[in-house]
Amino acid sequence: MYDFIETFRSDLETYSPDRLKRIAKPGSWSLGQLMDHIVAVADEYLGHVATCARTTEPQTSGKTEAGEDVFRRRAFPPIRIALPDTPEFTPSNDRSKEELLAELDRIEREMAAWEPRLDAIDPEMKVRHGGFGWLNAREWFDMIGFHTRHHFRQKAELEAWTAPPGA
């Protein structure tokens, strides 16, 4: 249903357990950690969609310049965004392929449940994003795709670093 989730799902199905958890070089993530990050951020953004849906106090503030740029492009800028190297920002490397597939399926189901409801949510009901400013439910929903697609290049790099010999 959502091409960006299907890309991660179909590729995830091909990874061996070792490849999924292999960290190829210091300071990088494993493919499993990348998948865990995709799920965690989608959950966070869906939580913001839900907050916008139940908020009753309009927010007239808008997006930052960076936020305007992201929505104009309909994508995050093509730059590497480094998160702090702390436990709270380090995704789990313990999930199995089956667990990650189930999580991607769950995210897709939740998105499918929210999508038809988005137009009924007042666009003035917003939640603040730390870098992009005040976003409404539709914008938070769209950010799931922006964020996930932003990691396609990282996924390709991790796949190249962890490819079995001769692949």
Query: Residue 101 is inside which H or E element, if any?
Result: helix 97-114
pLDDT-wise least confident of 53-62, 91-100, 157-166: 157-166
In sequence order, the β-bridge partners of residue 127 are: 135
Residue 167 resides in a domain: no
Angle CA(83)–CA(85)–CA(91) in degrees, nearest 5?
Answer: 75
Residue 50 resides in a domain: yes
What is d(CA 33, CA 20) in angstroms, rounded to the nearest whole number?
Answer: 8
Residue 141 resides in a domain: yes
| pLDDT for residue 167 | 58
| pLDDT for residue 87 | 67
The pLDDT tens digits of the residues spanning 38-76 come to 999 999 999 999 999 999 999 999 999 999 999 999 999
3-state secondary structure (DSSP) of residue 28: coil
Domain hosting 69: range is 3-162
pLDDT at 86 over 90: no
In sequence order, the β-bridge partners of residue 135 are: 127
**pTM recorded for the entire structure:** 0.93
In degrees and rounded to multiples of 5, residue 129 shows phi and psi of -100, 135
Model confidence at 165, in pLDDT bands (50, 70, 90)? confident
Q: What share of the chain is helix, strand, coil (3-state, %, to 5)?
A: 60, 5, 35
Residue 114 resides in a domain: yes
| pLDDT for residue 134 | 98
Q: What share of the chain has pLDDT > 70, as a percent?
A: 96
Residue 149 resides in a domain: yes
In residues, how long is the chain? 167
Model confidence at 166, in pLDDT bands (50, 70, 90)? low
Q: How far is the CA of 131 from the CAs of 55, 68, 102, 128, in angstroms?
A: 21, 11, 30, 9
The pLDDT tens digits of the residues spanning 103-135 come to 999 999 999 999 999 999 999 999 999 999 999
Q: How many domains does the chain have?
A: 1
Residue 29 resides in a domain: yes
What is d(CA 147, CA 89) in angstroms, rounded to the nearest whole number?
Answer: 16
**CATH code of the domain covering residue 157:** 1.20.120.450
Radius of gyration of the chain (CA): 17
Residue 15 resides in a domain: yes
| pLDDT for residue 98 | 97
